[in-house]
Amino acid sequence: MPLLHFHMLEGRTDAEIKTLLDAAHEAMLEAFEVPRGDRYQLVSEYKPSRMIVEDTGLGIPRTEKVVVVQMFSRPRGEEKTALFYKLLTEHLERTCGIASSDVMVSVVENQDAHWSFGLGRAQFLTGELGGK
């Protein structure tokens, strides 16, 4: 945890998606110092007519490589979250050739009671999970 949901245009190979997911996981490990096995990732692919990502008037150019990342997480703090943005774009550019202008991130914060990892229990509340 965090849970990362990647939204992208269809057309990438399975190998390209795996590389992207691995790069994002490395950025998350560095920024949030979570255990390596703490990995929850989803990918949704869209036809070009079903995904519009504009620049909010900032003059940010987008290409067909654009990726929108939704991160669902307990509060991480502004400093670590900003570090994640930086590391994510660096890793994606280096390993996938995705420009930082093609990476948009939105964070949805929630609380411990909003997570169940299975077995019908809220593991953060029961004490089965703690940490960051």
67-96 confidence digits (pLDDT tens): 999 999 999 999 999 999 999 999 999 999
Per-residue exposure over 64-88, b if at least 16 CB sit within 10 Å of its own CB, e if not: ebbbbbbbbbbebeeeebebbbebb
Q: In 59-130, which ranges are continuous DSSP H helix?
A: 78-96, 123-126
In the predicted structure, residue 132 carries a pLDDT above the cut 80: no
61 is catalytic: no
Quote the CA–CA distance of 44 and 20 in Å, as a whole number: 13
Q: What is the mean pLDDT of the chain?
A: 96
Instruction: For residue 28, name the pLDDT band (cuts at 50, 70, 90).
Output: very high
CB atoms within 10 A of CB 2: 23
Closest CA to 61 of 6, 105, 98: 98
Instruction: Please tell me whether the overall predicted TM-score, pTM, comes out greater than 0.85 for this model.
Output: yes
| From 2, 35, 61, 75, active-site residue | 2
Amino acid at the residue 128: E
Instruction: For residue 97, name the pLDDT band (cuts at 50, 70, 90).
Output: very high
CB atoms within 10 A of CB 6: 17
